Structure 1
Amino acid sequence: MSVRVHHVPFSRSFRVLWMLEELGLSADIVMHSIRTGSMRTPEVQSISPAGRAPAVEMDGVTMFESGAILEYLAEQHPEAGLGVAVGHVERPRFLQMIHFAETQASLIEQLNMSHVFLRDPAMASPTVIKLNTRRLQATLSALETMLESDSYLLARGFSAADIMMGFNLFAASYYVVLTDYPKVFAYRDRLAHRPSYHAARAKDGQQEFYAQDFYPIPEGS
């Protein structure tokens, strides 16, 4: 399979890099900066109309939603066991966890906008930051109840759903204290020890999102 990935470091396109490593597939990685708007070119927008990462070309197929890309790759390579076939008892949970990961990621994105990307920090609403932080915490509490010790999201083992969720947890720790969720924290640690995760991080590039290790809820909110 010939794969080309338009990639922004530490963005959702990292999920694609990680998935490719799990599958043992190489890719032509085109690096972009979140700060320069280089994704908003006609070439990239012909693949990803909103000009956002990922933008992926795979043997003539173009895709731009990370969850859909991971599902597609899992279906194209069933031998890897990273997807769940239609009719399998764990298929509903597999789909649910992939989409739950995007619910969680949307909250992280909102916190990124408030804490990191507003040109004038004074424009950020402390009330909105508090609300989105609490909502992110609620998703982590939910995940805590869904995890068993020493497990992945599916009883059958590691899957593309773990890549979807795992990406979030490395970003969520900028806004929440992850050790407050011991099963989630241990789960993230298991993911971080996978060789494929390390290989993908080596190709990820330097993140330009975060200037500090933790962003607390503003005082008085």
Structure 2
Amino acid sequence: MITLHHVPQSRSMRVLWLLGELEVEFAVAPHAPDRSLRDPAFLSLSPAGRVPALEIEGERMFGATAIIEYLCEKFPERGLGRAPRDPDRMTWLVWLHFADTVTGCVDILRRAYAVGQTQMMRDELARLALCYDAIEGRLSTPVENRDYLLTSGFSACDIAVGQAVYMARHFLATDDRPELTAWYARITGRDSFAAALPAPDAVRMFSQEFYEVPNG
């Protein structure tokens, strides 16, 4: 049995999305983004008190990227990973881990907004814009059927980066980057993405749809 410990709109959302794409049986243990993640019971699953945590076959895992790599290797028949000798393996790893670069910007933006650090927000928005530029550049590469980050098609790195962009769009829109915007619409049109969205009554990480930089 697979159990995912999940906070809506957090990094665990990308694992929830992946599990939906893998079409495997799993359960979700919901959590709120509060101090309950510091309880000893949860810390035994994730020592830093962060989601995602995954219980699988009597073992535990923590860290979204590690979980994604493991699940793709465990269920290779869905084609969401890339094996070590696959020509796209290097690129798959690069973009899979790039998701954490994007989310790192979001983490700083959330903290800066909470304490009214306007300059810190502006600095981090500039870094996030560079991340968007990197995705736009990748998707603009002139190859046939460039619909996804990999030439070989949809994969877990689209899920990871796509969910990171989902979080980032609470602070920086993508409208001025046409390839990024079209890719984001393409991947978030999948049923598994819709299933990973928070329920209407869920306690969310983001209380607003968009956070403007405060004046000052």
Same fold? TM cut 0.5: yes
- Letter matched to residue 85 of structure 2: G
> Counterpart in 1 of 2:160?
164
**Which residue pairs with 1:190 in the alignment?**
186
SS in 1 for 2:50: coil
Whole-Å Cα distance in 2 between the matches of residues 209 and 72 of structure 1?
Answer: 26
Secondary structure of 1:95 counterpart: helix
Q: Structure 1 residue 217: deviation in Å? A: 2.4
Partner of 2:2: 3
Unaligned 5+ runs, structure 2: none
Equivalence for 1:134 = 126
For the aligned residue pairs, the C-alpha RMSD in angstroms reads 1.7
- 1-structure distance, mates of 2:188, 2:48: 31
- 1:126 CA displacement: 1.4
User: Secondary structure at 1:47's aligned position in 2?
Assistant: coil
Question: For 1:140-176, what per-residue CA distance to the aligned partner results, in whole angstroms no more than 9, with x for missing partners?
Answer: 0111000147511111111111111010111211111
For residues 134 and 201 of structure 2, what CA distance do their matches in structure 1 show?
A: 31
Residue matched to 1:151: 147
For 1:54-203, list aligned pairs within 5 A.
Answer: 54-115=52-113, 118=114, 123-148=115-140, 151-201=147-197
Deviation readout 1:85-116 (Å, 9 max, x if unpaired): 1021111100000111111110011111122x
Asked if structure 2 preserves the Cα contact closer than 8 Å seen for 1:14 and 1:204, the reply is no
* CA distance 1:37–1:202, change in 2 (3 Å): closer
Percent of aligned pairs with the same residue? 37
2:35 is matched with 37
Q: Aligned AA for 2:133?
A: S
State how far apart, in whole Å, the 1-side matches of 2:48 and 2:22 are: 28
What letter matches 1:147 in structure 2?
L
SS in 2 for 1:39: helix
Q: 1:74 Cα shift?
A: 0.4
Change (3 A) 1:52 1:23: same
Q: Flag as ranges the 4+ runs of structure 1 deviating above 3 A.
A: 202-205
1:216 to 206, 212, 215: 212
Tell me by how many angstroms 1:200 deviates: 2.3
Correspondence for 2:13: 14
